[in-house]
A and B are shown apart, each in its own frame.
Chain A
Amino acid sequence: MTPLLSAKNIHMAYCGVKPVEVIKDVSIEAFKGETIAITGKSGSGKSTLLNILGTLEHPTSGKVTLCGYDTQGSSSSIIRNKHIGFIFQSFHLLDDFSLLDNVLMPAKIGRKQVGSNSESYKRALFLLEEVGLSEQIHCPTKILSGGEKQRACLARALCNDPDLIFADEPTGNLDSVNTDIVASLLIKSAKEGGKTLILVTHDEDLAKMCDKTFHLKDGFLHRIR
């Protein structure tokens, strides 16, 4: 079986007065429908690794293959738009747009039809209902609570029906009630939709909900579960 995501011998070093190698010879594979958690201390390079896997950053060396594409050779923006959904700790919603427009944004970027009869529009409405935000679709995102914002981010990440969801500390900014809601929604959406979920977290409970758990220490990735 071919993995959906395959990273081989990834190295990542930041140049400066004193070059720092944050990722050292990391290899990881993720198959369709798998949920993977990456844990590690703050500053251990978890987010950097997630950015490399999510094509937001290119590694110093090593190869990342995603849905059959070599991320070095292909247009990473097209891969991100079609195959990846991102969820960030700080939500990163667009304040100038309504909730619905935020959710539809990946579809707009992908030049899909977003009219009220379009598939994307219907899917956005469905996703917002799934995450319990169907009442606020025309509200500006800045009035939403933290939990609502993260649920909106989940809906946005799923809008283009991606194969992979990358979540960077999805519950990092939430209280315990919202953490539970968002965590369960995230895992549920990934499992039910057959999405591969790779998340970076400090939350042990969330990590335990995933199929596999990796730990990043001193730049090396170890499978701990």
Chain B
Amino acid sequence: MFELSVALKYLVPKKKQLSVTLIASMSVGVISLVVWLVLVFLSVTEGMEKNWLKKLTDLNAPLKITPTKKYFSSYYYNVDSVSENSNFQNKTIGEKAVSCFTDPYDDTQDCELPLHFSQKDLTTDGTLKDPVKIAYEILQGLKDQKEIQGFQDFEMSGALLKLQLLRTDSPLFTARGSESINFLSQVAYISSFPSENPALPSLIIPPSIKDINHLLYLASNDLEGNRGEGAPSIKRTASSDFAAKISPILENAGLTSVKTALPFWKMPTSLLPEGAQFSAIGYLNRSSITQIVLSEKKSQDPSQETITGMLKKENGLLYFTSDGKKHLTQNTTPIYSEEILHFLVNIDKSSLETAQNGNDLLLRVKTKLQGQNLEGTISWNALEVESCNPEISFASPPSINPLWTYSTQKSAEAATSLLPVNYQKESGILLPKGFQDNGVLIGDRGYLAYTASSTSSIQEQRLPVYVAGFYDPGIMSVGNKCLLAPREITRAINAANTSHSFDKIALNGLQVWFSDLSKTDRLKKEIQTAFEKKGIDGYWEVSSYKDYDFAKELLQQFQSDKYLFSLIAIIIITVACCNIISLLVLLVNDRKKEIGILLSMGARPQSIALIFGSCGVVMGTLGCIIGCLAAYLTMHNIDGLVHLLSSMQGHDAFSAVFYGSSLPSTLSPSSVFFVIFSTPILALIAGLIPAIKACGLKPSSILRSE
């Protein structure tokens, strides 16, 4: 195409046409800059939208199937309340799914059905239609086809959560410091623990070092009378219970290092290596050494009689040398380390099984003191955990269950999350991370209080629970007030509150999980169609995350943001492309003679327009390519750039609350497509304006003037 070859010749930088070259470079530079800006901005916003959507759907499931009013008024649902086979109690969806009876009513033993009861919804073979089991079959079919990752029924309830926060400043397994008890009361929504949710393990926050230390503290101390109203008292754990209480923690904590809780830690002499010398201060009483502090400093305490010297171990005996005088120290002379010691640690498993207190727990440790390696076995005395990798995901069920929420691999793709039970047989509950921010730690014990009506009064019931972990609630309708508890708890509370419960429809339902959100609408339609075919569509309402009331506004905001940002992007790309107009006007004036020559040789005016239009497209495309490459590099190194920005500002450049722990770092394909498509088109339009001017030139007048 000769037009393109001419256009390319015109765009090659030339010394003679310095102004055209400069303006062309500027135009390409501005377009690159704008393309880079648009791409980075759109990619980050789209990545953030994806993160928010993930948060939204991770816990709430992208699809929910909830029973309709027809379900609750159906014979199928209500018959349980009049049937002895169902213990005269309505069943939840989960219970219906595993129930042996679709129709538990037995007219030989049960009372006559009330008149207001709905008619039975029968299948073609005359049996009662089971909408729950049919729905489960359909969902299982989808799971078998790998269309969905899993599904599970959920139940919601509410109760008062009361936690007792027992805290201490004393080192572990000692009774040196002071202890305090605080209470935390919070009215909370309770949702049944979604053990089948494939995204749940990623939402659970692993136990922190503080949690592990707290669990170890609680294993050796406990509250007495914590269920009563009176002031509880702290009781030391019986030595016979110590091993059983400590094992679930230390077996699964993945302990890697411990440190001395306080300075001046009493060091076992066995740790000191033979022949090594340490700077030390000896404390004297009537010229005999009563204690030794390993310290590189000189003694500065004039009130004490101290000597500075070196401590050395020779043939198992410790000698303190000061001013050339060698003292043999007593075996009983305590030796302290002035500095806090950090130990790499391996726990002796056999000691764990038989330990009756902290001193029985043996640790194989390694550390450095005054540049020398110390190695040996010590007992757990005034030490605390410094680093650990608690196990939260197990390939096979653990031999001893940890005290925190964990998951086990059920198959290659699916994992089941589990809420453990503690030594006191209390159920673990999972709290939203807001509680963690308020000082709650894993292991804190308490109860869930709810009211249950009896024949004569309404009584408060308490279910003992303990904190088994924290989760990120993402965007949940009830925000930071929804705790996850075993389904027996939600069931018990709801069963007790049948007379004054929340909206039944919102309380019970099915959650369907899958990772690819783009197939949400298709799956929703597919499930609805399958329900329709089986004649159970009246019993269920299928809603996607787009229909959730609490998410609607957010999603609409995302949508309008997207339109707004695209509009802004178009505007700034257009402005950038306007540079092309001024360049091409200059180029047309510069190339008038050539235009005349080409026209005289038979070039059509359209070809002349195309030459200058091509110049615009080439510049737009070049700018677009450079901008895309720059954006790719930026996104690739976004963490480094954010870090640089943050260090320049002196605080976080992007708030973790809003943007997440790190900014999205992948270039959004739709943004790239948008830019690659729109920039050359806008550049062509910009190029056409001078091109139209060029094609209107008359060859005779140009050539005459030239």
Contacts and interface: CB of A to CB of B under 8 A. Distances in A.
B563 to A, nearest CB: 44
B526 interface: no
A57 B702 CA distance: 11
A60 interface: no
A109 B600 contact: no
Interface stretch (B169-177, B490-498, B590-598): B590-598
A51 B700 contact: yes
Contacts of B602: 77-82, 84, 106, 109-110, 160
B248 interface: no
B187 interface: no
B107 interface: no
Contacts of A56: 599-600, 698-700, 703
Contacts of B699: 56
A77 B704 contact: no
B2 interface: yes
Nearest to A106: B601
Contact of B597 (A94, A108, A111): A94
B604 interface: yes
Interface string A45-82: 00110010010110000000000000000010111111
Interface residues of A, number: 30
Nearest to A168: B703
B20 to A, nearest CB: 12
Interface in B490-528: none
Contacts of B234: none
A35 B448 CA distance: 114
B9 A97 contact: yes
A93 B598 CA distance: 10
Nearest to B604: A77
Given A77-B602, A80-B601, A106-B601, A92 B2 contact: no
A90 interface: yes
Interface in B309-349: none
A92 B703 contact: yes
Interface in B1-60: 2, 5, 9-10, 12
A81 B601 contact: yes
B706 interface: yes
B605 interface: yes
B653 interface: no
A80 B602 CA distance: 5
Contacts of A94: 594, 597-598
A216 to B, nearest CB: 16
Contacts of A47: 704
Interface string A89-122: 0101110110000000110111100000000000
A110 B2 CA distance: 10
Contact of A77 (B10, B596, B597, B603): B603
A7 to B, nearest CB: 16
A99 to B, nearest CB: 15
A86 B704 CA distance: 14
Contacts of B600: 54, 56, 80, 86, 88, 92
A92 B599 contact: no
A105 B602 CA distance: 10
Q: Which of B593, B600, B601 has the most CB atoms of chain A within a 10 A radius of its CB?
A: B601
A96 B605 CA distance: 20
Contacts of B704: 47
A48 B706 CA distance: 15
A48 B700 CA distance: 8
Interface string B596-616: 111111111101000000000
A72 B593 CA distance: 25
A80 B597 CA distance: 12
A22 to B, nearest CB: 12
Interface string B546-562: 00000000000000000
Interface of B: 2, 5, 9-10, 12, 593-594, 596-605, 607, 698-700, 703-704, 706
Given A75-B604, A92-B703, A108-B5, 18 more contacts: A56-B599, A56-B703, A57-B698, A77-B599, A77-B604, A78-B604, A79-B602, A80-B601, A82-B602, A84-B602, A88-B600, A90-B706, A92-B706, A93-B597, A96-B12, A97-B9, A106-B601, A110-B602
Interface pairs A-B: 8 shortest CB-CB: A81-B602, A108-B2, A80-B602, A96-B9, A57-B700, A56-B700, A51-B700, A77-B604
